[in-house]
Amino acid sequence: MPEIKALFWDVGGVLLSNAWDRTQRALALQKFQLDEVEFHDRHEMLVSSFERGKITLDEYLDRTVFYRDRPFTREEFKDFVLSLSQPNPEALDFALALGSSCNYLMATINNESKDLNLYRIEKFKLRPIFDLFVSSCYVGLRKPEIGIYQLALDITQQKPEETCFIDDRELNLESAAKLGMHPIKMENARQLQQALGSFGVKP
């Protein structure tokens, strides 16, 4: 088995909670009593542009929430959205230990809007962990598109067979596997350590 030289990580669902996924949107709709069908229709039309960095969070909210008067403010809504991001402390500690070891190139491959991506990087101190953030909002590609994985490999000059990709979703893992990356499904921090350990990956 080739030596693993690089680890590529999803962020939401692995190191942190998801930023603005189905669960988070449902909580916001409930709290602010928004019409689910109406919001969903607008969200689906904008989510690709939002996560590819084509529109800002404010532009997204202009068209999904604040296209009419609301009994709450934009700041109240944004503050609630940001509050939904929560850490997975054990996974973060493990990733930090791997990053601090300097044994592996550490990078993300994640789908996230620019505003939320920057907030989460700063809030949860991800910069000391990762050498590179291959986020959809910066590169204009989204998982599970093969292009975002290939771009990450090209930028870092890594051979796919010498890399692991960690994600919590099967479809995203399947795309990585097609390129020859070793896919690891995230279930919990202990399982993740064991799975990476089977490839000889340790701090």
CATH number at residue 30: 1.10.150.240
Task: Give the end of a domain, one of 53, 83, 113.
Answer: 83
Strand partners, 164: 7, 182
Cβ(92)–Cβ(14) below 8 Å: no
State whether 79 and 146 are in the same domain: no
Inside any domain, residue 170: yes
Q: From CA 190, how far away is CA 186, in angstroms rounded? A: 10
Inside any domain, residue 122: yes
Task: Give the end of a domain, one of 31, 62, 83.
Answer: 83
Domain tally, the chain: 2
State whether 96 and 177 are in the same domain: yes
Inside any domain, residue 202: no
Q: From CA 196, how far away is CA 59, in angstroms rounded? A: 40
Cis ω on the peptide bond leading into residue 71 (within 30° of 0)? no
Strand partners, 105: 6
DSSP for 73-128, please give it: -HHHHHHHHHHT--B-HHHHHHHHHHHHHTSSEEEEEE---HHHHHHHHHHTT-TT
Give this prediction's pTM. 0.96
Inside any domain, residue 126: yes
Cβ(164)–Cβ(98) below 8 Å: no
H or E segment to which residue 8 belongs: strand 6-9
Compute mean pLDDT per 10 residues along the chain, 203 residues long, and list them: 95 98 97 98 98 98 98 98 98 98 98 98 98 98 98 98 98 98 98 98 96
CATH number at residue 113: 3.40.50.1000
Cβ(195)–Cβ(7) below 8 Å: no
Cβ(74)–Cβ(66) below 8 Å: yes
Q: From CA 122, how far away is CA 68, in angstroms rounded? A: 32
* Full residue range of the structural domain in which residue 70 is found: 22-83
Q: Closest Cα partner for 164 from 146, 147, 183?
A: 183
Task: Give the end of a domain, one of 83, 116, 135.
Answer: 83
| CA 98 to centroid of chain Cα atoms | 18
Coil, strand or helix at 16: strand
